[in-house]
Amino acid sequence: MQKVSFIGSGKVAWHLAKALHQKGFQIGEIYSRSTQNAQLLAQEVAAKVNTNLDFTSQSPDLLLVAVSDNALAEVVGNLKIGKQTIVAHTSGSIGLEVFRKANYPYAVFYPLQTFSKNRNLDFSKIPICLEANNEEIYIFLEKIAHKLSANVSRISSAQRKVLHIAAVFACNFVNHLLAISKNILDKEQLSFDLLKPLIQETITKALEAKHPKEVQTGPAVRGDNLVLQKHIAYLAENLQMQKLYKLLSESIQHFDEEK
């Protein structure tokens, strides 16, 4: 039984620690800037709370660093670990270079998903992207990853950076546009529920198509300038939203030129 410890108690650590615990891994210690959050996660996975970055006492096989990108360099630079511990971060946008001064084995263990603490996820469907500083470490991590997911890939730092950018467009930007849609409806006291079947069909079609552009609909792709101008006029009271509408409409119209 491998022992896995965590630095971080946020959404990624919360889901990953619970998934590993459910698969029979021993969760050793949890460290977090918020001791209260560390205690909550530790209770979920039968772990101990560590109050500092010294992990030499329990010497886990794997130490997963699931912290914000801004904090990652400082954390990995101040670790105290045993000789046998592999350290892996879970970031999509930071490469192996963050470990350039490390004197311990290191890697990346990146689950590609949007995480919220109050949602249950099927980890078996979540892509896990791996990278390591040598093949032995990669094979070790690959075995752990396959315990969690059927979708495990070797992804380099450069590839993962591109993957993360694409994920921001596919997830974060889409969600933001849905939030804007709700605000537009709220202003007119219309229910967001009216859009939900449309949203569902839009996502389903995009996933089933060979390329999402093949199922693009709407006034921009039709070149319906009359409708576009009416929409732009309606948004005149919110210049930022109006600018976004114009930008996205132009992007749809010139999509093949933007490759």
Task: Determine how many CB atoms are found less than 10 A away from the CB of residue 161.
Answer: 14
pLDDT band for position 88 (cuts 50, 70, 90): very high
What does the pLDDT look like over 231-243, one tens digit per residue? 999 999 999 999 9
Answer with the residue of higher pLDDT: 102 or 201.
201
Give me the helices (H) in the chain, please.
Answer: 11-22, 35-45, 69-77, 135-148, 157-167, 174-187, 196-208, 219-222, 225-234, 239-253
Whole-number Å distance between alpha carbons of 121 and 141:
21
Q: How confident is the model at residue 47 (pLDDT cuts 50, 70, 90)?
A: very high
For the stretch 52-67, pLDDT in tens is: 999 998 899 999 999 9
Dihedral sign (CA 244, 246, 249, 254): negative
Half-sphere exposure of 67 (CA within 13 A, CB side): 21
Q: What CATH number was assigned to the domain covering residues 160-257?
A: 1.10.1040.20
What pLDDT, on a 0 to 100 scale, did the predictor assign at position 258? 62
- Alpha-carbon dihedral angle through residues 47, 50, 118, 181, given to the nearest 10 degrees: -150
Contact criterion met (CB below 8 Å) for 27 and 5:
yes
At residue 154, the pLDDT reads 98
Burial string for 197-226 (b: 16+ CB within 10 Å, else e) reads: eeeeebeeebeeeeeeeeebeebbeeeeee
What's residue 259's pLDDT?
63
Predicted confidence (pLDDT) at residue 227 exceeds the cutoff of 80: yes
Residues 81-104 have a mean pLDDT of 93
Average pLDDT over residues 25-31: 96
* Predicted pLDDT at 134: 94
Contact status, residue 30 vs residue 55, Cβ threshold 8 Å: no
Architecture of domain 3-155: 3-Layer(aba) Sandwich (3.40)
Are 130 and 145 spatial neighbours (Cβ–Cβ below 8 Å)?
Answer: yes
| pLDDT score of 58 | 86
Residue whose tokens read 């839009």: 202
Does pLDDT of 178 surpass 90?
yes
Average pLDDT, the chain: 95
Q: List the chain domain ranges.
A: 3-155, 160-257
**How is 140-205 classified by DSSP, letter by letter?**
HHHHHHHHH-S-EEE--HHHHHHHHHHHIIIIIIHHHHHHHHHHHHHHTT--GGGGHHHHHHHHHH
- Say if residue 153's pLDDT is above 70: yes
What does pTM read for this prediction? 0.92
Spatial separation of the C-alpha atoms in residues 48 and 55, rounded to whole Å = 11
- What average pLDDT does this structure show over 93-99? 95
Whether residue 79 is predicted with pLDDT greater than 80 in this model: the reply is yes
In one-letter notation, the amino acid at residue 73 is A
CB 151 within 8 A of CB 126: yes
pLDDT of 190 above 80: yes
What's the whole-number mean pLDDT along residues 191-201? 98
pLDDT tens-digit map of 129-146: 999 999 999 999 999 999
